[in-house]
Structure 1
Amino acid sequence: QFNPLTDIKEAFQKPQTENMKTLPPEMLPEFMHTLSRARIHFTTRCLIEWQLHTMARPSEAAGARWDEIEWDEKLWRIPAERMKRKREHVVPLTTQMLTILEEMKAINGHGRSEFIFASYKDVTRHCCSETANMAIKRMGFKGVLVSHGLRALASTTLNEQPQFNGDLVEAALAHVDKNKVRAAYNRSQYVEQRREMMQWWSDHIDQA
């Protein structure tokens, strides 16, 4: 029997049960200053920056592959099997993200590794998804920030900007829209609209 309330029920997100430690937007300058002076491996520093700029989940960032980068289109295309929601996700690459890629290419590119953030102990493997989190703890943010919380920091900052639609922020975070009708219309992932927003976010990080 058809139940007209089914889709309405599914449209509501379940409450978030996990408490993700994050920073308020006003602490971004302190975080970036600490990161710039931290005694951590160069690849780890770049991984943290990549995660912050792209708003990717820790596992998605750590496992980034060179063949996922579309240089001409300036896109990072993450295949569905690597995504939490099992749907392909596309990230518009900003000037700052491209700089990180060029820095990592000098270390892990040119056929040395299939992974952008290869383990410095074994280039046939990528960095552990906990690498950024452990470094953040060593930087003095234990109990204050976890690497996954960088996504929340980006979300809070961008949602405070009146020029950016909340749907764009949700798309950038690769959150699945529970409203089936709206999700069907949004499969384009607003890539071109998000490009402007992502560049604003990268510039904001640089200015912190």
Structure 2
Amino acid sequence: MGKLTVKFVEGVKATDKKAAYGDGEALELHVEPSVRKGCTKKWIARFRWEGKANNKTLGAFPDTSLAEARQLNAAFRAHLDQGLHPALFVPPQMARKAKAQKRNPDTPAPPDSPQHWTVKQYVEKWLKSDPNWSKNTIKTKSDRAQKYIVKPYGHMKLRDITHAVIEDCIRLLTESEKHAQAKKVAGVWKQLYEYAELHDKSLPNVAQNLGRYRKKRVKAKHHATLVEPAAIGDFVVRLEDYKPKYKGTKALPYTIHGLWLVLYTMKRPHEVCEGKWTEIDFEQKLWRKDAENTKTGLENDECPLSEQALKVLTELHKITGDFEYMFPGGAGNLHIVPETLRKLILEGLGYSVGELTTHGLRGMFSTTGNELGYNFEAVEKQLSHNIGNEVSQAYNHAKYLRMRRQVVQKYADWLHVQANKARKRKKQVSSEHDSTEQVDCIAV
């Protein structure tokens, strides 16, 4: 039995500072003052990961009761005992505690009923609905909702909003070339209606099928890449020396493996992020991707794997081999997204936005491969670019695969040759710097 009681949890009040009350098994109730609610109560599981102390939020009281918090804590401990990353733990869906009150459909709803709430009221309540949202997250969502939803439609009842109204809201943004903002605003409408459905079961969800207003054909753009062998060698050195910095439960230690696979296989970042273990054939040294999951979609893509790529996959399999996706995402996401790899290049490896992108690694292979005299058709096929018509592609499939095996292995070997040269240059510069300092000391 835990140390806390239901009576204590219900009655405890917030003081001037945040307070923590232990229940045993590293489960704590954190109580802190809140301007909006007077105080907030969160269930926190303490644990250690890679030698560092960390916390995991399991829910907030009263939405999550004391008994439910203990069950979640036990499930989380079992998750950690299996050696699984804490970010991959998703609390099981708790049974809904309160049943909707049955009313006579002929009886009009009370004035303060959710059926009479305006768009503004729903937005205000929705922004307070998730205790795990940070202040920055709430501010970002609030600013977007206020500008594009509350300001023009806040006075209307949510029940009076039609699909056509939301279409106009999204269309105004797309016509102004604000396609990224249109996508995010559509997401706000969708989340708002998902929240509203919890309070008003009879509310029709008119925020569906908005995707077509977000799509826009854009011109092909050039992705920042590296072309000089010295710069490429330095990039490989940074990859080899990178140590994952675990911060809370958001950092996934295997993201670095994703960059290695983009580098070794030249696959598009989203194809790597969405890769499944069933696609990997270790015996044949192939990565088989279904046609429907590739950009071209003309044929099933068989990507040959170099020895270096196989080594990365073998290491990765020890970490995520029990999952469907090779790179499972945290917080309930099926897999990581390309943005995760991009942030690693910028924040983890120290490159600037205009210096290198994840997609630019494919351009790096294309440029280098042509300069080193690799077979042009093999390079293009490895990049999943179509050559000739469908008949010629099918006829030459085996030929391309043999050439591609040679190309990917040569390229992987060449990358590490450049890395060794980069290390020697770095060591030489360091030695010259030390010698200069010694001479300066003698002169003094």
Superposition TM-score, scaled by structure 1 size? 0.83
Question: Cα distance 1:120–1:17, how it changes in 2: closer, same or farther (>3 A)?
Answer: closer
Question: Cα distance 1:181–1:89, how it changes in 2: closer, same or farther (>3 A)?
Answer: closer
Aligned counterpart, 1:166: 376
Greater strand share, 1 or 2? 2
- Residue deviations 1:97-151, cap 9 Å, x none? 1111111111011xx20111222554x6111122111111112222111100000
Between structure 1 and structure 2, the one with the greater Rg is 2
- Residue deviations 1:83-102, cap 9 Å, x none? 01113211111111111111
Q: Which one of 147, 153, 163 corresponds to residue 358 of structure 2?
A: 147
The answer (yes or no) to whether the contact 2:232–2:415 under 8 Å persists in 1 is yes
Q: Return the alpha-carbon distance in structure 2 between the equivalents of residues 76 and 181 of structure 1.
A: 23
Question: Cα distance 1:98–1:121, how it changes in 2: closer, same or farther (>3 A)?
Answer: farther
Higher RCO structure, 1 or 2 (CA under 8 Å, sep 6+): 1
Q: Return the alpha-carbon distance in structure 2 between the equivalents of residues 75 and 186 of structure 1.
A: 17
Q: Which one of 119, 128, 132 corresponds to residue 341 of structure 2?
A: 132
Q: Return the alpha-carbon distance in structure 2 between the equivalents of residues 25 and 81 of structure 1.
A: 36
Aligned counterpart, 2:239: 35
Q: Return the alpha-carbon distance in structure 2 between the equivalents of residues 198 and 115 of structure 1.
A: 24
Is residue 2:227 matched to residue 1:17? no
Q: Which one of 309, 316, 319 corresponds to residue 97 of structure 1?
A: 309
Q: Return the alpha-carbon distance in structure 2 between the equivalents of residues 147 and 85 of structure 1.
A: 20
In structure 1, the gaps of 5 or more residues are 1-15
**Structure 2 counterparts to residues 1-208 of structure 1, below 5 A:** 17-26=220-229, 27-40=231-244, 41-86=252-297, 87-109=299-321, 112-122=322-332, 125-138=334-347, 139-141=349-351, 142-162=353-373, 164-179=374-389, 182-188=392-398, 190-207=400-417, 208=419
State how many pairs are aligned.
Answer: 189
Sequence identity (%): 33
Aligned counterpart, 1:3: none
Q: Return the alpha-carbon distance in structure 2 between the equivalents of residues 44 and 154 of structure 1.
A: 21
Aligned counterpart, 1:11: none
In structure 2, the gaps of 5 or more residues are 1-218, 245-251, 420-444
Q: CA RMSD in A?
A: 2.0
Please give the secondary structure, in 2, of the residue aligned with 1:77. strand
Superposition TM-score, scaled by structure 2 size? 0.40
Please give the secondary structure, in 2, of the residue aligned with 1:42. coil
The answer (yes or no) to whether the contact 1:25–1:156 under 8 Å persists in 2 is no
Please give the secondary structure, in 2, of the residue aligned with 1:52. helix
* Amino acid paired to 2:237: H
The answer (yes or no) to whether the contact 1:50–1:97 under 8 Å persists in 2 is yes
The answer (yes or no) to whether the contact 2:320–2:326 under 8 Å persists in 1 is yes
Q: Return the alpha-carbon distance in structure 2 between the equivalents of residues 50 and 19 of structure 1.
A: 21
